[in-house]
Amino acid sequence: MYNSTICSFMLSADYILQPRMVVVRQSSVSCTLKNQSVRIGHCTKVPRNENLEKLQHGYLFPEIERHELRHLRMYPNANVIDLGIGDTTQPIPTLVTSSMVDFVRGLSTVTGYKGYGPEQGEKALRKAITVAFYKDFGIKPSEVFVSDGAQCDITRLQLLMGLNQKIAVQDPSFPAYIDSSVIIGQSGKFVDETGKYKNIEYMTCGPQSDFFPDLPTISRTQLIFFNSPNNPTGHAATRKQLEQLVDFAKVNGSIIIFDSAYSAYITDDSPKSIYEIPGAREVAIEVSSFSKFAGFTGVRLGWTVVPEELLYSNGFPVVHDFNRIMCTCFNGASNIVQAGGLACLSLEGLRAVRSLVDYYMENARILVDALTSLGLTVYGGKNAPYVWVHFPGSKSWNVFAEILEKTHIITVPGSGFGPGGEEYIRISAFGQRDSVIEASQRLKYLLYLQEN
């Protein structure tokens, strides 16, 4: 594709898509920009990782931020409301932060000082996670690995599995599953026409199929990423659906990586953990996070469950290798943060963080009501803090841009989550109540204007 080597520069936040400049090797140690005599200095002989070359653009959420910054430069006085990146906004309950304060103070004392902790996490926290979330499902503390968050765990799981695997993902889905798969070398190249990477199975999840993949049409993959409640659609898989998924995995010998980061938002009786499904222990890993139910997005804490029964094709336990990864590529979540996590999972702690979830779900309800009243088809918002709005026949980046331009509201274009997200916009319910109300009003006004 390239006759000479290509050099892409992201010169500043102003460039959303990088201008590509052609570089010619003049000698073994220097490069110049072609058609300009600008010497850009020594080039090493280290080849760029071609997996990173396959990535199409920057990661989705920094791209959204770049749009926001550009918009702010154009409209410095605009009251921009951010319902884009799913970033928590409400303070963490004092019960939780005070336990972190106490722990921190202890670090300055001889008796309270702690150095390296176990890479798998503090025993007490592993136990508390087991009790809080997996009490009736036979998960043991030794199967729980504390981490600095689900996004990091997803990559560590990819590192664990290696490049000779094929993943299936929901379409649309949280971009880290696909991006990490590309990075680790599991996928092929991106195909512009389809908007998909080769060697990744995209399982369309749309309203026609109740946001659940049509499994008989899915070809077998080694790994299946499944996020429920789903980011971005907000759909929580039913028990029946998850039973089908576990069956499917069993028949195909696949491993499900179940992302339950939003399970605290479930309001109906949809399963909160994959391990509620019999047989799941033999086919599934579960990843979760304190980010969205405790406001720990910046604090950084999560966990991954790898049951002992989960075996590779040669009978080797997956948990053994995951432990090796955690010990070699990681050094434990911050001990201060783990103290906070422990406080979250006490009875009072769970009650206190519950109020955060309720607050965001009330935001979601307001958004759903406002958008529905305008005649829009709205999904999600009941079991997750995301509202998934359908704009039939549209290009989601255009809708995103129009909403931003005309109402100064940041959302996320559905196609950022995969081709199955085209025609949709994700609106996040994280935000201050008055901002959410204001946003609802602006959207109502915009759509009213458009109709008249």
Partner 1 sequence: MGSYPRLPFFWVVSKLHLYSIIIERVDFYLWGSFGCCRGHVSLPVKSVGICKCVATPQEAETAYKTRVTRNPNIGKLQAGYLFPEIARRRSAHLLKYPDAKVISLGIGDTTEPIPEVITDAMSKRSHALSTIEGYSGYGAEQGEKPLRRAIASTFYSDLDIEEDDIFVSDGAKCDISRLQIVFGSDVKMAVQDPSYPAYVDSSVIMGQTGFYQKDVQKFANIEYMRCNPENGFFPDLSSISRPDIIFFCSPNNPTGAAATRKQLIELVQFAKDNGSIVIHDSAYAMYISGDNPRSIFEIPGAKEVAIETSSFSKYAGFTGVRLGWTVIPKQLLYSDGFPVAKDFNRIVCTCFNGASNISQAGGLACLSPEGLNAMREVIGFYKENTNIIVDTFDSLGFKVYGGKDAPYVWVHFPGRSSWDVFSEILEKTHVVTTPGSGFGPGGEGFIRVSAFGHRENILEACRRFKQLYK
Residue 397 one-letter amino acid = W
Selected binder of partner 1 within 84, 213, 229, 332 (CB under 8 A): 332
Site for partner 1 contains 313 (CB under 8 A): yes
Q: Which of 137, 159, 384, 146 is nearest to 274 (CA)?
A: 137
DSSP label of 408: -
C-beta closer to partner 1: residue 59 or 445: 59
Backbone phi and psi for residue 412, each to the nearest 5 degrees, phi listed first: -130, 125
CA pair distance 71, 62, nearest whole angstrom: 14
| Placement of tokens 């709205």 in the chain | 378
Is residue 261 a contact point for partner 1 (CB under 8 A)?
A: no
Instruction: Note the maximum CA span of the chain.
Output: 71
Residues in 122-181 at the binding interface with partner 1, rule: CB under 8 A: 142-143, 148-149, 151-152, 154-155, 159-165, 175-176, 179-180
Residue of 36, 49, 267, 398 interacting with partner 1 (CB under 8 A): 49
Of residues 411 through 440, those in contact with partner 1 by CB under 8 A are: 430
**What angle, 0 to 180 degrees and rounded to 10, lies between the N-to-C axes of helices 123-134 and 335-344?**
30
* 6-25 positions binding partner 1, by CB under 8 A: 6-10, 23, 25
- Minimum CB distance to partner 1 smaller for 163 or for 191: 163
Question: Exactly one of 3, 35, 44, 452 binds partner 1 (CB under 8 A); which one?
Answer: 44
| Cβ–Cβ < 8 Å for 367, 356 | no
> Strand 424-428 vs strand 412-413: parallel, antiparallel, or unpaired?
antiparallel
Instruction: Select from 13, 199, 218, 317 the one that contacts partner 1 (CB under 8 A).
Output: 317
User: Per CB under 8 A, does 3 bind partner 1?
Assistant: no
Smallest distance from the beta carbon of 35 to partner 1, in angstroms?
A: 14
Burial 264-300 (b: 16+ CB within 10 A, else e): bbbeeebbbbbbebeebbebbbbbbbbbbbbbbbebb
Per CB under 8 A, does 287 bind partner 1? no
What's the closest the beta carbon of residue 36 comes to partner 1, in angstroms? 13
Chain residues 175-214 in contact with partner 1, contact rule CB under 8 A: 175-176, 179-180, 183-185
The H or E element spanning position 184 is: helix 175-184
- Which member of 15, 75, 316, 448 binds partner 1 (CB under 8 A)? 316
Give the footprint of partner 1 on residues 81-120 (CB under 8 A): 85, 87-94, 96-98, 100-101, 104-105, 107-110, 112-120
